[in-house]
C-alpha cells in the first residue's frame, strides 16, 4: 500500500529518530516493495551507514549501523543485521564480511537482528564466529528463548549481542505477533563506566 513501515512505526511508537537501509526490492507490475534493516531510537542517530552484502544475485540481506549518544552510553554503536535464511554457505560469507568490516572499529557496541542461526559452540556456527570475531557476548546463549515462528516459537534465531562492558539487566521475547518472528527486548546497563575503564587500563 505504498506505506513506509519504518516511518509508520517511528511515528506510532514515539521514537523520534529512524534510519532505514534498503537491501532488496521487488516489482510486480506497477507495485514496488523494498526491504532491508532499520534502526529506531529516542536519541539522534549519527554516522549512519547501510551495507548490503550483495554476495550473489539472490543475496538481498545486509546491515545498518549508527552511533547514538544514549544516557550512560556515549558513542554507542548499534547495528541491525539480517543474515540469509536458506544457505549456510552464504551465511558464513556474510558473517565473515560483517566481522571484517566492523572489527576495525573500537568502542561499545550492540549488534542485533535475525541471524537465522542458533548458538553452538563449534566453528560451523556463524553466530559463535560473529560473537568471537567482534568480541561480543550473548545473554544466556544456551537458554531457550524461541522467537520463530511467532505463532508457535520453537527456534532462537533472533539475538542481541553486546560488548563485554555492557550487561543485560533483562532479556525476553515479546508476545506480540506483529511479524513471523517475535521481537526480542533487552534492557542493558554499562558494567564498567568509561572513566573507571580508562583508570584500570
Better pLDDT: 124 or 139 = 139
Averaged pLDDT for residues 68-72? 87
What does the pLDDT average to over 107-132?
87
Mean pLDDT of the chain, nearest integer: 88
| 102 alpha-carbon distance from chain centroid | 13
Mean pLDDT value across residues 133-146: 93
In this model, does residue 198 exceed pLDDT 60?
no
User: Please, which residues have CB within 8 angstroms of residue 71's CB and are 6 or more apart in sequence?
Assistant: none
Q: Which residues contact 31 (CB under 8 A, 6 or more apart)?
A: none
Q: What is the DSSP letter of 197?
A: H
C-alpha span between 173 and 147 (Å, rounded): 7
Indicate if the pLDDT at residue 6 is higher than 50: yes
- Quick check: 134 pLDDT over 90? yes
Q: pLDDT category, 66, cuts 50, 70, 90?
A: very high
Rounded to whole angstroms, how far apart are CA atoms 90 and 67?
Answer: 27
| C-beta of residue 134 within 8 angstroms of C-beta of residue 102 | yes
Q: Which of the four pLDDT bands, split at 50, 70 and 90, describes residue 200?
A: very low
User: What letter does residue 53 receive in the DSSP assignment?
Assistant: -
Is the pLDDT at 186 greater than 70? The verdict is: yes
Q: Is 171's pLDDT higher than 70?
A: yes
Rounded (10°) angle between helices 126-134 and 88-102: 10
- Considering the entire predicted model, what is its pTM? 0.89
Stretch 48-55: mean pLDDT: 91
Mean pLDDT on 61-90: 92
Backbone φ and ψ for 142, nearest 5 degrees, come out as -95, 0
Amino acid at each position: 500500500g505504498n506505506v513506509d513501515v519504518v516511518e509508520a512505526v517511528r511515528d506510532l511508537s514515539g521514537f523520534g529518530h529512524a534510519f532505514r537501509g534498503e537491501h532488496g526490492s521487488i516489482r510486480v507490475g506497477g507495485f514496488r516493495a523494498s526491504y532491508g534493516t532499520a534502526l529506531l531510537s529516542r536519541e539522534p542517530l549519527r554516522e549512519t551507514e547501510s551495507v548490503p552484502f550483495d554476495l550473489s544475485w539472490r543475496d538481498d540481506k545486509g546491515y545498518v549501523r549508527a552511533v547514538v549518544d544514549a544516557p550512560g552510553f556515549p558513542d554507542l554503536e548499534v547495528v541491525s543485521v539480517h543474515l540469509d535464511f536458506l544457505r549456510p554457505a552464504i551465511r558464513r560469507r556474510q558473517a565473515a564480511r560483517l566481522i571484517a568490516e566492523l572489527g576495525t572499529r573500537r568502542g561499545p557496541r550492540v549488534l542485533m537482528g535475525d541471524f537465522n542461526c542458533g548458538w553452538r559452540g563449534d566453528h560451523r556456527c556463524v553466530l559463535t564466529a560473529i560473537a568471537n570475531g567482534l568480541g561480543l557476548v550473548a545473554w544466556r546463549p544456551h537458554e531457550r528463548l524461541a522467537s520463530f515462528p511467532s505463532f508457535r516459537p520453537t527456534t532462537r534465531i533472533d539475538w542481541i549481542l553486546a560488548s563485554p562492558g555492557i550487561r543485560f539487566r533483562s532479556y525476553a521475547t515479546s508476545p506480540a505477533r506483529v511479524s513471523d518472528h517475535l521481537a526480542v527486548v533487552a534492557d542493558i546497563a554499562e558494567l564498567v563506566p568509561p572513566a573507571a575503564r580508562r583508570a584500570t587500563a
